[in-house]
Amino acid sequence: MFNQNEIVSKNIYWLSKNMDEMDYTKSTFYNVEVTKYANLTFLNDLNQVKINTKIISFNSNNDEREIKILFENNNNCVALLIELRLIKESKDENVVPVFYSDNYFSLFKNENVVITINYNINDADNKSTRIEVRGWNINPFIISSK
């Protein structure tokens, strides 16, 4: 979805050649029984990919922190369902709350994106943090964020 030339929302859907089959005769107002599920096992055959990352800015304003990271996929295969987590180094737990411009995204061949992460240093116990990156077909890795 675009607002003028800016991407506002990006959604990716993986469809099977065969859709889910439902038994509507056994449905209720809150549930429909699935008798056969779509076959998405081909996603298990995606090549493992390595994505490149670069912290392009790290800004502090009083207790507020903002990190901007460039993610690049220079592979011939999609990097699917990339998830980010900001972790407290001292306790090995999530920083909460934290605000991501996007924290669950995919990158197609030769695609890149800049992700912004905002948080309050007090919510990280005034300690250093790291960013854990994982995805469907990427090996998990860590970005040190000071």
Q: Top-level CATH class of 52-144? A: mainly beta
Structure confidence at residue 146 (pLDDT): 64
Assign 3-class secondary structure to the chain: CEECCEECCCCCCCCCCCCCEEEHHHCCCCCCEEEECCCCHHHHHCCCECCEEEEEEEEEECCEEEEEEEEEECCCCCEEEEEEEEEECCCCEECCCEEECCCEEEECCCEEEEEEEEEEHHHHCCCCEEEEEEECCEEEEEEECC
Structure confidence at residue 132 (pLDDT): 96
Q: Report pTM.
A: 0.85
What are the residue boundaries of the structural domains of the chain, listed by start? 2-45, 52-144
Mean pLDDT, each 10-residue run in order, the chain (146 residues): 76 88 92 94 94 96 96 96 93 94 93 96 89 96 86
